[in-house]
Amino acid sequence: MIKLIKVTRSFNGQRVLDGVDLEVPKGKITVIMGKSGAGKSVLLKHIAGLIKPDSGQIIIDGFDITQATGRELQEFKKRFGILFQGGALFDSLTVFENVAFPLREKTRLSEEEIRKRVRERLDQVALPPEVEEKFPDELSGGMKKRVALARALIQEPAILLFDEPVTGLDPPMTNTVFHLISKTHEEIGYTGVVVSHDIPEVFQIADQVAMLHRGRIIAVGTPEEIQRFPDPVVQDFIHGEIDYMEA
C-alpha cells in the first residue's frame, strides 16, 4: 500500500530523515516508534503529502506522490484521514461542525446526509447525541481525541494516519483510544500508520512495528519479533519506556 524508498529530509542543515526505507502493508496497522525528536511526525507528514522529501520516493498504490503537484496531489490527499497530535479541533465550531467539516469542504452531500454520517461516526467512537452541540473547550481530553477520530473517519479513508494519538491521556483513556482505533480498523479496514512511543500499549493494535532511530528505520517486524529484536538500541527503547511507565 505504502512504500518509502531512500527518503531523506533536512531542516536548517540537520538531517532528520536519512534514507528511510519502509513498506506498509495494505489493510494493516503499522506503528512507527522511536524517541522524541527522532523524526516520526516528520515521516508521517511525508506520507500524507504535507512535506516533500529532499530525495527518495513515496509510492502509494503505485503512485509516487513526490512527483505530484497541484490538483493531482489534492485529489490524492482525499484518500487520507489524519488524526493530528492534540486533535487539532476548531475551537469556534461545535463537535458536530468539526466532524462535518471535511464533508462540507470536499463533498456536495445534502444536509440530511451529512447529519446522518456525522451521527454514525460519533456513535462509532461511543459519543452520545448530546455532545454534538458542545464546543471543544467543554470536552475532556479523551472526548476531544474521540471527536478527532470521528472527523478523521468521516470520509471512510483508505489510509488513516495517527500522530501520537494518546498524548496527554491517562492510562485508562489511553487504552480506550487504542481500543477504538482497533475497533474502527476492524470495521472499515483502512491501512493505518500510527506514530507513538506508548510502549507496550501500542503493541496491542499493531500488525507491524518499525523503529526509527537517527533518521533511519533500524528494525521492522511484528510486535513479538520487535520485542525479541537483538539490537540493543531497540531493547533499550522498549524497556526504557516500560520502566518509565511503571515508575
The pLDDT tens digits for 160-182 are: 999 988 888 888 888 888 998 99
Question: Do 75 and 167 sit in the same domain of this protein?
Answer: yes
pLDDT of 247 strictly over 70: no
Of the CA atoms within 13 Å of residue 67, those in its CB half-sphere come to 7
Residue 5 lies in a domain: no
Output the nine-digit C-alpha cell for 33.
516508534
Q: What is the pLDDT of residue 246?
A: 37
- Residues paired with 24 in a beta bridge: 2
Q: What is the pLDDT of residue 166?
A: 86
**pLDDT tens digit string along 188-214?**
899 999 999 888 889 999 999 999 999
Q: What is the mean pLDDT of residues 98-116?
A: 92
Computed over every residue of the chain, the mean pLDDT equals 90
Residue 85 lies in a domain: no
Q: What are phi and psi of 171, to 5 degrees?
A: -55, -45
Using alpha carbons only, how large is the chain's radius of gyration in Å?
18
Question: Do 161 and 73 sit in the same domain of this protein?
Answer: yes
Output the nine-digit C-alpha cell for 145.
481525541
Question: Do 190 and 247 sit in the same domain of this protein?
Answer: yes
Q: What is the pLDDT of residue 173?
A: 85
Please give the model's pTM, rounded to 2 decimal places: 0.88
Q: pLDDT tier at 22 (50, 70, 90 boundaries)? A: very high
* Integer Cα distance of 67 and 164 in angstroms: 28
* Integer Cα distance of 165 and 179 in angstroms: 12
Q: What is the pLDDT of residue 241?
A: 55
Q: What is the pLDDT of residue 113?
A: 95
Enclosing domain of residue 118: 93-156
pLDDT of 244 strictly over 50: no
Does 186 or 72 have the greater pLDDT score?
Answer: 186
Question: Do 201 and 170 sit in the same domain of this protein?
Answer: yes
Measured over the CA atoms of residue 30, residue 35, residue 38 and residue 42, the dihedral's sign is positive
